[in-house]
Structure 1
Amino acid sequence: MTSKREQVLDAIVALIAAAVPEAKVERNLAKPERVPPGGLVIIRDGDPGEPEATLSPLTYIFSHRIPIEVAVHQGIGPREQALDAILGRIGIEIAANRTLWGLCDFIEAEAPAAADVESSGALPGRWADVVLIATYATPDPLN
């Protein structure tokens, strides 16, 4: 059986892919050389952190910090607006599914940190780092 951690990460990939179907959504992709026209979203495994534990029954409660990287390049409109549109749609999906189909007690996103990305010979891009915090419980920290 797949661990709770993997189930949560797979569900986040599915949630974000549904939010931005025109973007390429990948998990743990190395930094790309170019950004596809619809944008790029990379979900990293992140750090589940040190769990809290309850003893009866033994349950580990994680606040798993999952980094999400979103990239766009200048296309038809300004890159700031394109990045904001993708982040906004991801936020709407998170707000509509706070329990991640029952896998989590709660998920929430921290505010994004954005920066410009420039490569010689390529359209200018914009990049944002977002941290998604998934709080979930499991009887075994490895499963």
Structure 2
Amino acid sequence: MPTPRETILTALHARLLALPATALRGEVLPERVPTGGLLILRDGEPGEPEVTLSPLRYHYQHRAEIEAVVQGADRDVAFDTLTAGIGETVTADRTLGGLCDWVEAEAPRPLDLPVEGAAPLKAAVIPVVLHYSTADPLG
């Protein structure tokens, strides 16, 4: 049976799959960026939990990351559309169907990356904070 952490990350990835971009999880950046853009969900860091003792619960503010990448002449508009779609996906269900206490995406810091012999990339890492509790830090 998957842990709460894995269940939450899987649910977030499933939400990203509904966007028009190609959504991967934990993959390396491919050589080519798909026309609709590319999202790569990184598991990130759960951080140090706050602990309550009765009952014993570990409360995490897990920082996952979404790498968003677009390429082409209209990359500014495509990037804006893609990041807005991520925002809408997160705000549509801030508990991921009751799996999390709260999900919060942070603002991206985009940058343009030149590519030799091809159109430049526009990319950013979008931190996503997943608030959840579990009875076991390994479970």
- Shift of residue 44, structure 1, vs aligned partner: 0.4
Alignment partner of 1:131 is 2:127 = yes
Structure with a larger share of its residues in strand: 2
**Structure 2 unaligned spans of 5+:** none
In the TM superposition, 1:70-81 aligns within 5 A as 70-75=68-73, 78-81=74-77
CA deviation after TM superposition for structure 1 residue 6, in Å:
0.4
Which digits, 9 at most, give the CA deviation of each residue in 1:28-65, with x for residues without a partner? 11122221111100000100000001111100000000
Residue 94 of structure 1 aligns to which amino acid in structure 2?
V
Structure 2 residue identity aligned to 1:99? T
The root-mean-square deviation of aligned C-alpha atoms, in Å, is 0.9
Letter of the structure 2 residue corresponding to residue 85 of structure 1:
T
Question: For 1:135 and 1:4, how far apart are their aligned partners in 2?
Answer: 11
Q: Which residue number in structure 1 is paired with residue 22 of structure 2?
A: 24
Alignment deviations for residues 89-131 of structure 1 (CA, whole Å, 9 cap, x no partner): 1101111101011000000011101001221121211001100
Q: Structure 2-normalised TM-score?
A: 0.96
User: Where does residue 114 of structure 2 map in the other structure?
Assistant: 118
- Match of residue 102 from structure 1: 98
Unaligned 5+ runs, structure 1: none
How far apart, in 2, do the equivalents of 1:43 and 1:68 lie?
5
CA distance in structure 1 between the partners assigned to 2:111 and 2:89 by the alignment: 24
Match of 1:8 in 2: 8
